[in-house]
């Protein structure tokens, strides 16, 4: 994460930082925390801040000094008492977890607390999670665990119950939109990118990307094609227009997210909740679609997109995946 | 910083330090070696975060100048690259110099390397040791006490504290205890120089095995310092640090029986060979179990039965048998490990019934004790 994004993340999480400061001030440091927050909320930045606070040699008024040897080494990932693990491939495996526990059951290399950070903790596979559970339950010595996740419910309830939960706020979307508009992003684009990420800096960068603008346009066309109810056209659209712009898995995921938000808008319009819309420029078109669709047919479509997202992670052939998606979305209409 | 050093001496020092360096470390700085040059000499440090090995090369030894033109300073160099470079340099004089920030020049004869160094501030800080926790014993004694205990540590990570050997000072005696909850090895030594304060530390078995590799086979004194986080073994110019294990070691003193129903004195080597033979068939079986029985005659019978392969019986002559007749079964592997640790001579085995743990001791000393839990078969 660049320094700028990092600082920004810390500023936007003022409440969480205040809470961590209080924890430090009272010296009531728990043995396990879960930081949960949406993508871009700055979980890693906050975890690093907390680690520094716990290990800083000279914290001033419960704020790490950022200049001592400990703080610097945490910044560069060289502090011997801090261990950070990330998913190795798809998930966090049992071997990684046993290795971590072996490290943590030894006394710290240096005096003081030991800290371990598990990034994407929701991706621990079940044997890894159970291995960790035993260690979380009865930690030996001065250890603090920090689990980071963007999906609190996917963490084993037994792990949840052993950790203190600290929720990172998502930025107030309205104020993010305003700050983006100030920077010269169009209002409709600002509404879309703030749905994609909670971090204003990242959202701004996304709005500047040509490929993202292109993808947004494609998704709106796809919605049109699906709603016209002529099966051939939507399939053709996938082949000719969609695939050339969605070469990578991450592109495709972004595309599916955009599609999901579009249908979310249609449902919102139908229900009369206009304030949260992600494509304000499409309001009229979406109003038209919302009249033609029943709630149940919209549910079928949204379900289909969610299914497709899941299959994308299972590495299904992407062309087939999208064709199947389009067909389900259109056929769904015929049956209901 | 800057200094000139004899290449062969530098290589000697490096050969110990690189033993501690692992390619699997997660902390980037630990792929490097820390070099620290002062007016007194050069210290090199390598670590894999569990163990740390430091070597010291003095400026002058036995009247020969080893290091010259010193400007004090520290830096960290990539271990693999540095080691290879020094190994292949053309002449015996090596000049190492840090210039313009982090650029290191290594010069020998006509060849010159420019290496990017890392800042020594990033390197982990080794613990301060105090003389209060210091004691001393000869290297060969240390080596044998490691050999006699470390095999019994647990290989499973379910109870991490059992993967270490407990070192505890009680009434001027050092007890070294290892157990995996099926067997236990205990060695008692009286160090020549005592620590002022009592201590109780658990040292990882793996670290002791590594230490054993660098200990010489003579009676050079090894100084031992036990600090809060780490233990330091100091021999001549090499320092070996290991992290300690966290947690409380179980109280093992109550496990060791004091009253015996059957006591057997027997030649250890003969028994070891007999068990080894019996285990040839037992090994095929999953548990590697041999049976041991006495029936009032001056022999003990060792037997093993593996339904698929066959069976074996052997009589071993005992020096002396006291107490009740006995039938007991145990793991051949554990028994052989224990007999090897007691090494050779006549030894005593004390039993308290076929369902209770039994102990093996050397006939003339209380120093070594091996305890094994039997297996229920009869």
CB distance B187 to B145 below 8 Å: yes
What are the chain A neighbours of B30 within 8 Å (beta carbons)?
A: 80
DSSP A60: B
Task: Using pLDDT thresholds of 50, 70 and 90, give the confidence band for residue A2.
Answer: low
CB distance A195 to A276 below 8 Å: no
The CATH fold of domain B131-243: DNA Polymerase III; Chain A, domain 2 (3.10.150)
- List strand residue ranges (DSSP E) for A236-329, in order: none
Q: ipTM of this model?
A: 0.81
Task: Using pLDDT thresholds of 50, 70 and 90, give the confidence band for residue A1.
Answer: very low
Mean pLDDT for A135-147 is 86
Lowest mean per-residue pLDDT among A198-202, A308-312, B30-34: A198-202
- Number of other CB atoms surrounding residue B87 within 10 Å: 12
Give the CATH number of domain B256-372: 3.70.10.10
CB distance A52 to A146 below 8 Å: no
In whole numbers, what is the pLDDT of chain A averaged over residues? 84
DSSP A63: B
> A163: which 2 tokens?
């950790």
Q: Choose among B30, B121, B228: nearest Cβ to A69.
A: B121
Distance CA B17, CA B238 (A): 9
Distance CA B16, CA B83 (A): 11
Distance from A85 to chain B by nearest Cα, in Å?
9
CB distance B223 to B189 below 8 Å: no
A36 versus B197: which is more confidently predicted? A36
- What are the φ and ψ backbone dihedral angles of B119, each rounded to 5 degrees? -75, 135
Q: Which of B351, B322, B346 minimizes the C-alpha distance to B266?
A: B346
Q: Which of A306, A279, A269 minimizes the C-alpha distance to A216?
A: A279
Q: Which of B137, B88, B135, B133 minimizes the C-alpha distance to B113?
A: B88
Distance CA A176, CA B221 (A): 69
pLDDT at A48: 92
Q: Which of B191, B199, B183, B155 minimizes the C-alpha distance to B369?
A: B183
Q: Choose among A72, A83, A106: nearest Cβ to B243.
A: A106
> A262-296 burial, b for 16+ CB within 10 Å, e for fewer?
bbbbbbbbbeeeeeebbbbebeebbeebbeebeee
Distance from B182 to chain A by nearest Cα, in Å?
21
Mean pLDDT for A136-162 is 88
> A245: which 2 tokens?
């712009």
Interface test with B, best of A107, A139, A140 (most B CBs within 10 A): A107
Interface test with A, best of B24, B118, B124 (most A CBs within 10 A): B124
- Do the Cβ atoms of B27 and A102 come within 8 Å? no
Q: Does the fold of domain A211-331 match that of domain A3-167?
A: no
Q: Choose among B28, B204, B247: nearest Cβ to A78.
A: B28
What are the chain B neighbours of A137 within 8 Å (beta carbons)?
A: none
CB distance A309 to A253 below 8 Å: yes
Cα–Cα distances in angstroms (integers) from residue B223 to residues A33, B136, B213, in the given order: 42, 5, 17
- Is pLDDT at A199 greater than 80 in this prediction? no
CB distance B161 to B248 below 8 Å: yes
Mean pLDDT for A141-164 is 90
What are the chain A neighbours of B123 within 8 Å (beta carbons)?
A: 78
Alpha-carbon B355 to chain mean position: 32
Tally of CA atoms within 13 A in the half-sphere of B190 that contains its CB: 5
Distance CA B234, CA B312 (A): 50
Distance from A224 to chain B by nearest Cα, in Å?
50
DSSP B210-250: HHHHHS-SS--EEEEEE-SSEEEEEETTEEEEEEPBPSPPP
- Do the Cβ atoms of A83 and B230 come within 8 Å? no
- Is pLDDT at A332 greater than 60 in this prediction? no
pLDDT at A335: 45
**Mean pLDDT of residues grouped by 10 in chain B (378 residues)?**
91 92 87 93 93 93 86 92 92 89 89 91 86 83 92 88 92 91 92 80 94 91 89 91 91 89 91 90 77 88 86 90 90 92 85 91 87 85
CB distance A96 to A125 below 8 Å: no
- Do the Cβ atoms of A110 and B229 come within 8 Å? yes
pTM for this predicted structure: 0.79
CB distance B12 to B58 below 8 Å: no
Q: Which residues of B touch A (CB under 8 A)?
A: 26-30, 49-50, 121-125, 127, 157, 160-161, 204, 228-230, 243-247
- Do the Cβ atoms of B247 and A83 come within 8 Å? no
Is residue B177 packed enough to be buried (19+ CB in 10 Å), middle (13-18) or exposed (0-12)?
buried
pLDDT at A180: 83
What are the residue boundaries of the structural domains of chain B, listed by start? 2-122, 131-243, 256-372
B55 versus A181: which is more confidently predicted? B55
Task: Using pLDDT thresholds of 50, 70 and 90, give the confidence band for residue A274.
Answer: low
Distance CA B282, CA B289 (A): 6
What are the chain A neighbours of B127 within 8 Å (beta carbons)?
A: 110-111
Q: Choose among B28, B204, B228: nearest Cβ to A106.
A: B204
Lowest mean per-residue pLDDT among A53-57, A205-209, B42-46, B187-191: A205-209
CATH of A3-167, picked from 3.40.50.300, 3.40.50.10420, 3.90.180.10, 3.10.20.30, is 3.40.50.300
What are the residue boundaries of the structural domains of chain A, listed by start? 3-167, 171-208, 211-331
What are the chain B neighbours of A110 within 8 Å (beta carbons)?
A: 124-125, 127, 229
Q: Which of A120, A51, A105 minimizes the C-alpha distance to A79?
A: A51
Give the CATH number of domain B2-122: 3.10.150.10
Share above pLDDT 70 across residues of chain A, in percent, rounded to a whole number: 94
Q: Does the fold of domain B256-372 match that of domain B131-243?
A: no
The CATH fold of domain A211-331: Zinc Finger, Delta Prime; domain 3 (1.20.272)
């Amino acid at each position: 994460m660049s320094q700028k994004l990092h600082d920004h993340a810390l500023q936007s999480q003022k409440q969480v930082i205040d809470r961590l400061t209080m924890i430090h001030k009272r010296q009531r440091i728990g043995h396990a925390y879960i930081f949960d927050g949406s993508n871009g909320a700055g979980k890693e930045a906050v975890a690093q801040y907390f680690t520094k606070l716990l290990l800083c040699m000279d914290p001033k008024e419960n704020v790490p000094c950022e200049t001592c040897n400990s703080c610097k080494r945490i910044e560069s990932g060289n502090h011997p008492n801090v261990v950070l693990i990330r998913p190795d491939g798809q998930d966090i495996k049992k071997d990684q977890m046993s290795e971590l526990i072996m490290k943590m059951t030894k006394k710290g290399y240096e005096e003081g607390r030991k800290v371990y950070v598990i990034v994407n903790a929701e991706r621990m596979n079940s044997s890894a999670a159970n291995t960790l559970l035993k260690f979380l339950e009865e930690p030996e010595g001065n250890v603090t665990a920090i689990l980071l996740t963007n999906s609190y419910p996917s963490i084993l309830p037994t792990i949840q119950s052993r950790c203190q939960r600290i929720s990172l706020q998502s930025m107030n979307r309205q104020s993010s939109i305003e700050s983006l508009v100030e920077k010269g992003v169009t209002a409709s684009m600002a509404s879309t990118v703030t749905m994609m990420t909670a971090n204003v800096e990242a959202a701004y960068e996304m709005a500047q990307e040509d490929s993202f603008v292109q993808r947004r346009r494609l998704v709106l066309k796809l919605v049109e094609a699906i709603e016209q109810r002529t099966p051939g056209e939507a399939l053709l659209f996938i082949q000719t227009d969609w695939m050339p712009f969605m070469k990578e898995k991450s592109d495709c995921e972004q595309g599916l997210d955009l599609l999901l938000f579009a249908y979310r808008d249609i449902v919102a319009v139908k229900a009369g909740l206009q304030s949260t819309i992600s494509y304000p420029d499409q309001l009229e078109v979406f109003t038209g679609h919302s009249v033609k669709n029943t709630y149940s047919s919209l549910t079928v479509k949204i379900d289909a997109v969610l299914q497709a997202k899941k299959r994308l992670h299972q590495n299904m052939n992407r062309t087939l995946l999208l064709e199947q998606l389009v067909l389900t979305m259109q056929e769904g209409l015929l049956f209901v | 910083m800057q200094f000139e050093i004899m290449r062969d001496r530098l290589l000697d020092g490096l050969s110990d330090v690189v033993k501690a360096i692992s390619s699997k470390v997660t902390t980037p700085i630990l792929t490097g070696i820390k070099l620290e040059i002062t007016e007194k000499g050069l210290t090199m440090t390598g670590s894999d975060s569990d163990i740390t090995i430091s070597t010291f090369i003095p400026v002058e030894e036995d009247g020969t100048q080893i290091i010259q033109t010193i400007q004090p300073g520290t830096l960290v160099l990539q271990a693999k690259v540095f080691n290879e470079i020094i190994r292949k340099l053309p002449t015996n004089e090596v000049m190492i110099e840090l210039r313009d920030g982090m650029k290191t020049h290594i010069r020998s004869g006509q060849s010159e390397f420019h290496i990017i160094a890392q800042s020594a501030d990033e390197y982990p800080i080794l613990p301060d040791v105090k003389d209060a926790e210091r004691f001393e014993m000869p290297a060969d004694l240390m080596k044998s006490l490691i050999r006699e205990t470390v095999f019994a540590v647990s290989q499973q990570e379910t109870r991490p504290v059992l993967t270490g050997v407990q070192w505890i000072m009680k009434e001027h005696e050092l007890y070294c205890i290892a157990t995996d909850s099926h067997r236990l090895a205990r060695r008692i030594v009286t160090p020549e120089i005592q620590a002022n304060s009592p201590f109780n530390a658990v040292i990882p078995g793996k670290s002791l095995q590594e230490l054993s590799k660098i200990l010489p086979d003579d009676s050079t004194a090894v100084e031992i310092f036990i600090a809060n986080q780490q233990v330091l073994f100091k021999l001549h110019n090499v320092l070996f640090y290991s992290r300690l294990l966290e947690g409380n070691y179980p109280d093992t003193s109550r496990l060791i029986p004091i009253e015996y129903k059957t006591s057997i004195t027997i030649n250890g080597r003969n028994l070891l060979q007999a068990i080894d033979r019996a285990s040839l068939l037992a090994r095929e079986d999953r548990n590697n179990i041999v049976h041991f029985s006495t029936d009032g005659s001056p022999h003990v019978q060792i037997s093993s039965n593996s339904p698929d392969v066959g069976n074996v019986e052997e009589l071993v002559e005992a020096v002396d048998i006291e107490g009740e007749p006995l039938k007991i079964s145990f793991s051949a592997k554990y028994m052989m490990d224990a007999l090897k640790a007691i090494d050779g001579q006549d030894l005593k085995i004390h039993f308290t019934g076929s369902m209770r743990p039994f102990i093996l001791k050397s006939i003339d000393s209380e120093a070594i004790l091996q305890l094994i839990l039997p297996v229920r078969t009869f």
